[in-house]
Structure 1
Amino acid sequence: MDFRWIEWLLSLLCIGVSIYWFVIIVWRRFKYVQLGVPAASPDNRQGIKQALLQTFSQGKLWKDWRSGLMHLLLFYGFLHLQIGAIDLILIGLTDAHLPLPYYETFVVAQEWTVWLVLIAILYAGYRRYVEQLPRLKRSFKSGVVILFITSLMVSVIGTMLFERVITGNVSSPGSIIAVAAAAIHAPPILLVAGYKLFWWLHLLILLAFLLYVPQSKHFHLIVAPYNLVIQRPIQSIGKLHSLDLEAEDAESFGVGAIEGFSRNQLVDLYACVECGRCTQVCPAAATGKWLSPMHMITKLRDHLTEKGAAITSSSPWVPSLSTAYTVHQWHPDEEDVSSSTLQPLSLESPRGRSISQTMSRQQASWQGRYHYAALEKHAGHGVGKHKDPRELQLIGDVMSEAELWACTTCRNCEDQCPVGNEHVDKIIDMRRYLVLTEGELPADAKRAMTNIERQGNPWGLNRKDRMNWAVEWEQQDGIKVPTVKENPHFDYLLFVGSMGSYDRRSQRVMRDLVRLLQAADVSFAILGNEERSSGDTVRRLGNEFLYQELAQENIRLFEKYDVKRIVTACPHTYHTMKKEYRDYGMSESLMIYHHSELLWSLWKEGKLHLNHSIQEQVVWHDSCYLARYNDVVAEPRQLLQAVPGLTLLEMERSGKRAMCCGAGGGQMWMEETEGSRMNVARVEQALAVLPSVIGSACPYCLTMMEDGTKQLERPEVQTLDLAEIVARSVLGD
């Protein structure tokens, strides 16, 4: 009796049910994302190109070449094996293979692909559980995919082995399986049974994997390419979206609930790979602050899934016993929303609550710190008391305020993310909610913000004293710094900024920059006491209302004095004017330059002559808002390399990988109260290459580096701005 029809029926039933469930899973998560605010449709031409390039080259994964090679083998291996899977299923049901030319060569190639994928996945297990990379989780859940792929490859090998024995095809050149098949001698019934066992194992494991993928972090296999398509274009990297503060129907500003994020932002959450690269490079994480970018994304993702399921009355897990959503009850021995499973650590949260003690804080890894910070935060707000996810507060129950205020907005997390996730804008949106809707922010930040609002600078010094540095300089040395009224036909507006106007150390940088512009015969002017804060600090702190007011005031001044070009020594001012002011009506023709770009350009044009030798070992510290935000990496280095006698050194983390000094995102005006100091950690990295000078091109970085050398008691190491170094070579000071 032929039972082939029963096998056909069972296999088609399994395939049909699995595909149906797969569609249900993906559809439900799509509905959860649809709860977000509709996002403007981007111009996808560049996005599609970037997505294809990142996907098929494995993009940022190559920043760790071993990881890049491993993922390349897995990616292309699975693409190749999908054809083999169809062929294998077809043979098992019909005894006929795919009509491919050079079929035997195809089969041998499939075999070698299986071996390569098996080696790659075993190496993945080695990196996670033997080498134990700190950024990788080591729970059973984290290793499920390794078991899936390993068992899938074993089932393919078993099926191919028994097929060769049954068909007698044991002389295929280049086939290890063929050699093994030649040595097997067993009754035909056992061979057929072995073949059917491995064939069904392959089919069922493949279908189970299909269902597992969208219900796990491996949903990124489906979501990540789309996420790369909709990510911001290169020219908009780091740009914050504007809020419509005049919307009459707005009940709040910023994001105070998960559905307040845009749909594009919510796609990020399901694209996350949980690879830990973002947290590995986060300066807040590295110095013991209550922030882990990876855990932030996974907590938001799990909250979206649970709240979305509650709102839509659907189970996020398929198959499930019921289509109605049941509120999950949390237990202390389960994984929390950060999806981490580590042993309890001895930690204390910013609000003083403690958890069980088995290790000292100094022994805690960054994974442990952030897992249990999140765990404690949730436990302290009623998670585990059968609380409806719809009642959880995004800020308070899911994300703590301490996490949000720890971010320096350096974007190192985003630069490292292989799937295009954007962390900073989510943090800023939640800060906006705290500031604009709840009226809550740290005391230091509130003080700086109030001072900027009243006097136009974070110290609260008299706004009428903004030009005193230039007046005093003229009285002392006779060097005139013209205002826009005194030189109405200027080529460049020198935007001095609050640091250059009020900070004594930054004033020295500004004076050298002025002398260099005069040496190059550049026509420039300053706004003097009419200048206002650029607004970057208040925007990153969440006060969008004050930012827009300051931006519009500055734009009106630019229009009043017919400004065509602006140069500034502050990367934060440079970024917000270059990329964000245009949302408020600033002319597209108005060009913004950082002083490192302008000095480099003047040197290239032969207007600045580096005549004097400087016998210094200079290690270069890259500003986040120059290197990562605006790709200004080569210009300062080329300029320094041209200085006679100067030796340019590089830290281990430099260029776009550079570690933040700790001053961005409003942190310049806030005191670090958790962990160690970021600027000290960065200075230690600089001192490791034995410099005589730490160079930078940012007044915030300069201050932080100088404070770091003082704290480490290294007065012999100078901290100098690019303008100061170049002035020594050009002017011979």
Structure 2
Amino acid sequence: MQPNPAVFTPLLIASLLFFTWSIYRRLSLVSLGRPAHTFRSIGAGLREMFLYAFVQKRVLRKSFGFNHFVIFWSCIVLAFVNVEFLVSGVVPAARLSLLPDFLYLPIRLLSDVMAALALLAIIIAFVRRTVFPPYPESRTLESYAIIVLIAVHMIAYFGVNAAEIAKGGERAAAVMPVSSFFGQLLAGLSDKHIEATYNFYWWLHAFALLAFINVLIPYSKHLHVFTAIANCFLRREEKPNAQQPELFEEGRLFGAGQVNLLSWKDLFDGFACTKCGRCQNVCPAANTGKPLNPRQVVGDIKANLLANGPLLKRGGVPTVPLIGDGGSGSIAEDVIWSCTSCGACMEVCPVFIEHLPKMIELRRHLVEMEAKFPEELLNLFENMEQRSNPWGIAPAERTKWCSQLEVKPFEAGVTEYLLYVGCAGSFDSRSKQVTLALAQILDAAGVSWGILGKDEKCCGDSLRRLGNEFVFDRMARENVALFKERGVTKVITQCPHCFSTLRNDYRQYGIELEVIHHSELIATLLAEGRVPLTHEVTELGAIVFHDSCYLGRHNDVYEAPRRVLTATTGVVPGEFGRSREESFCCGAGGGRMWMEEKLGSRINLNRVTEALYRNPDTICVSCPYCMTMFEDGLKDKQASQTRVRDIAEVVAEGMRPVA
């Protein structure tokens, strides 16, 4: 019943050689990229690979992820019998049946069950993609080809087993329920017809395997079978919440104007992408009608590499622009400027693709190499360079918020904490109220703190996320020098953007600060009983709490603000439909605070609409940007009955004497 090895052997050898050549030709292009960040130790990488590639921890966050889990593990288990199939096609005597029963029978039972589960899961996947697609563009020939070929593979597997069982040549038939069922259907056929059935399904099985080896794995998204596992191993140790610094030397190119100026890890991400659409489904820009689609950006980088990579390897000039009109392999400028740097795409990606660093590299090229950026950013950049704040207000105005208070300057050895007020806390009229509330809490709790006054400079968060790395670099170095000169080691911030920048980005400039967001500090002070609350704050009514992207997703601070509100109001705050890791951006991150939304609908209105669905009396925030976006959104929605309060204001209210 075994097909002729003389026919199959050269076919298999040719297939394996072609597969090796195809994989090398594609993945060798990754070497064109610049050096990437450092990675975890081998032990840590193996742990991450086990949890996220094999246990599929992130895939299983979504209910349908279990279906993929079944398909994945079915393929892992069936890999053993597939190897046997290929080897026995060359050496017919090399069969698993040579194993003793205590090994052979469990292998056949497990393979039979997993093949049945895989076929069922594939049918479910086909129906889902056709009727309830994960995203609108997911009904592609590539996706259906993968689904159909896996189904053909499983059907052929059962066909081969059924023919062997019908012929009486499978001693494990009793432990192979599915194959035995199909074998019974063939039992009435003649030996000649069973032989023909066996040969048909054997070659169908061979066709399916060789098609995977030669076509679908190297030339489709199914390459992620290997690259996604590697990407989980290569996951960086820290969150990608700080961009790589640049070395400003004459003759250097800044940012990524062509594909080989991205890092090799950025290029490898393109081959690891599974096109699952999770990033697209959570992206605030994509959800509000803007041209940005994180999945497509990664796909365009891959397409650009495949188009230009062979030319670049030969020292040639790219023919497809990386930043262009938005055609295949090119990314439009409107796409690049739509990003809010919220990190939602990276949070949901099951294989740890890093979308945000790529967007920043593209912005850096536009800003630093071509001086091309939205017109409204010109004033921002000038104000930052000249007066170190977005509004261009004189530095002497930084202390006006505390004109009625006795606030001391920070003094090393005397003052424990530097209160880094930030630009919004110093100049924005609404955020200055939050700064005053925070100062009252610190004083009442007996915290030793001081400020830099007019010497304080912007942290530079918006500059870095907008791609103006040159001005950010200068500003960061000046701030680090000032902190070292003043002996600053502990910093309190009320702005998550300042918090993240001082805590993460400034490490690249040789300073390790103990940075604490005001929500964390207040939560600790409340737990220690150091905040003299006079009453539970009930006058704010029903409260919902909004997670700031830069406090939550970028820095994993979720519980502290909730503990503050619970301790102050006596009630656990309400939650948005999308909260914590799944929180929806307010629309102000990534420098979008200083830009108009001219495309699609407004992101803050999307979030405000979600809030109003909960009928809150008060929306609580822990970020000045979020404060601004919510208040503007409530005005646009004419929802004057709903207020916005920072958590510090809620605590300060609880400290006021009861009338």
TM-score clears 0.5: yes
Question: Counterpart of 1:206 in 2: which secondary structure?
Answer: helix
Q: Which runs of 5+ in 1 are unaligned?
A: 315-387
Query: Which position in structure 1 is the counterpart of 2:117?
Result: 116
Following the alignment from structure 1 to structure 2, what is the Cα–Cα distance between the partners of residues 426 and 179? 53
Aligned partner of 1:14: which letter?
A: L
Deviation sequence 1:332-384 (CA, Å, 0-9, x none)? xxxxxxxxxxxxxxxxxxxxxxxxxxxxxxxxxxxxxxxxxxxxxxxxxxxxx
* Structure 1 residue 449 displacement after superposition: 1.4
Is the Cα–Cα contact under 8 Å of residues 491 and 523 in structure 1 kept in the other structure? yes
Q: 1:515 to 1:300 in 2, by over 3 A?
A: same
Identity of aligned residues (%): 35
What corresponds to 1:125 in structure 2? 126
- Determine if contact 1:218/1:273 at 8 Å carries over to the other structure: yes
CA contact (8 A) 2:112 2:176 kept: no
1:580 aligns with 2:505: yes
| Aligned match for 1:531, one of 456, 459, 462 | 456
1:244 alignment partner, one of 236, 243, 247:
247
Supply the AA of the counterpart residue of 1:294. R
- Residue 50 and residue 96 in structure 1: after superposition, are their counterparts in 2 closer, same or farther (change >3 A)? closer
Alignment partner of 1:264 is 2:187: no
Aligned to 1:30: 27
1:312 Cα shift? 4.5
Residues 494 and 524 in structure 1, CA contact (< 8 A), matched pair in contact too: yes
In the aligned structure 2, how far is the partner of 1:169 from the partner of 1:24?
A: 37
Measure, in 1, the Cα distance between the counterparts of 2:400 and 2:629: 24
2:10 paired residue number: 13
8 Å contact kept, 1:610–1:644: no
Q: Is the 8 A contact 2:116 2:178 kept in 1?
A: no
For the structure 1 residues 115 and 494, does the alpha-carbon distance in structure 2 shift closer, same or farther, using more than 3 Å as the test?
same
Among 223, 230, 236, the residue aligned to 2:227: 223
Q: Any conservation in 1 of the 2:60–2:69 contact (CA below 8 Å)? A: no
Amino acid across the alignment from 2:144: G
Shift of 1:663: 0.2
Distance 2:49 2:107 in 1: 29
The one-character-per-residue Cα deviations of 1:294-349 (angstroms, maximum 9, x if unpaired) are: 111111111101111344479xxxxxxxxxxxxxxxxxxxxxxxxxxxxxxxxxxx
Does the CA-based 8 Å contact 1:161-1:178 persist in structure 2? yes
1:535/1:712 CA distance change after superposition, 3 Å: same
How far apart, CA to CA, are the structure 1 residues paired with 2:476 and 2:442?
A: 26
Q: Structure 1 residues 449 and 90 mapped into 2: Cα distance closer, same or farther (>3 Å)?
A: closer
Identify the match of residue 425 of structure 1 among 357, 360, 378: 357
- SS, match of residue 516 in structure 2: strand
Report the counterpart of residue 213 of structure 1 in structure 2. 217
Identify which range, 38-47 or 628-637, moves more after superposition.
Answer: 38-47
Deviation of 1:389 after TM superposition, in Å, equals 8.3
Aligned 1:174-573 pairs, distance under 5 A: 175-183=177-185, 184-211=187-214, 212-234=216-238, 236-245=239-248, 247-250=249-252, 252-312=253-313, 390-397=318-325, 398-471=330-403, 474=404, 479-484=405-410, 489-573=414-498
Contact 1:470 1:481 in 2 (8 A): yes
Count, aligned residues: 644
**Residue in 2 aligned with 1:698?**
623
1:597-637, Cα deviation, whole Å (9 max, x unpaired): 11111112221244412222111100000111000001111
Deviation at 1:422, TM superposition (A): 0.5
Is the CA contact (8 Å cut-off) linking 2:307 and 2:320 kept in structure 1? no
Cα distance in 2 for residues equivalent to 1:90 and 1:295: 40
* 1:220-279 CA distance string (max 9 Å, x none): 111112222223213x4311111001x3441x2111100101111111111111111101
CA separation in 2, counterparts of 1:189 and 1:231?
55
Distance 1:732 1:283 in 2: 42
CA shift digits 1:137-178 (9 cap, x unpaired): 112222110011000001001001101001265961561332
Aligned-partner SS, 1:663? coil
Structure 1 residues 431-459: Cα deviation after superposition (integer angstroms, max 9, x where no partner): 11111111111111121111111111111
Name the amino acid aligned to 1:199: W
Provide the C-alpha distance between the structure 2 equivalents of 1:191 and 1:267, rounded to a whole number of angstroms. Answer: 47
Local SS of the residue matching 2:467: coil
Contact persistence 1:278–1:413 (CA under 8 A): yes
Unaligned ranges ≥5, structure 2: none
User: 2:366, 2:657 → 1: CA distance?
Assistant: 51
Q: Contact 1:496 / 1:510 at 8 angstroms: preserved in 2?
A: yes
Kindly state the Cα deviation for residue 39 of structure 1 after the two structures are TM-superposed. 3.0
Distance 1:47 1:610, change over 3 A: farther
Mapped contact 1:44–1:229 kept (Cα < 8 A): no
The RMSD of aligned alpha carbons is: 2.0
CA distance in 1, matches of 2:108, 2:566: 56
How far apart, CA to CA, are the structure 1 residues paired with 2:31 and 2:52?
26
SS of the residue corresponding to residue 180 of structure 2 reads helix
2:444–2:532 Cα contact (<8 Å) kept? no
Show the counterpart of 2:54: 56
Equivalent residue for 2:574? 649
Measured at CA, do residues 732 and 677 of structure 1 come closer, stay the same or move farther in structure 2, by a change above 3 Å?
A: farther
The Cα offsets for residues 625-672 of structure 1, whole Å up to 9 and x where unpaired, read as 011100000111122222244341011110011010000011001011
**Deviations along 1:678-710, whole A, 9 cap, x unmatched?**
001001111111211111100000110111111
Which residue of the partner structure matches residue 160 of structure 2? 159
Partner of 1:608: 531
| C-alpha separation in 1, matches of 2:58 and 2:286 | 21
Separation (CA, whole Å) in 2 of partners of 1:162 and 1:418 = 40
> Are the equivalent residues in 1 in contact too, given 2:593–2:625 (CA < 8 A)?
yes
Matching of residue 81 in structure 1 with residue 78 in structure 2:
yes
Task: Describe the SS at the equivalent of 1:567.
Answer: strand
Cα offset for 1:20? 0.7
In structure 2, what is the equivalent of residue 97 of structure 1? 95
Aligned to 2:550, the other structure's residue is in SS state helix
Taking the aligned partners of 1:442 and 1:419, their CA distance within structure 2 comes to: 33
Distance (whole Å) between structure 1 residues aligned to residue 284 and residue 349 of structure 2: 15
Deviations 1:402-445 (A, max 9, x none): 11111000010011111110111111111111111111111111
SS of the residue aligned with 1:517?
A: helix
Look up the equivalent residue of 1:684 and give its one-letter code: T
| Matches of 1:232 and 1:260, distance apart in 2 | 20
Amino acid at match of 2:143: S
Distance 1:179 1:468, change over 3 A: closer
Q: Give the Cα–Cα distance (whole angstroms) in 1 for the partners of residues 573 and 137 of structure 2.
A: 35
Contact 2:346 2:355 in 1 (8 A): yes
Task: Describe the SS at the equivalent of 2:4.
Answer: helix
Contact kept, 8 Å, 1:136 with 1:276, in 2: the verdict is no
User: Which secondary structure does the structure 2 equivalent of 1:418 belong to?
Assistant: coil
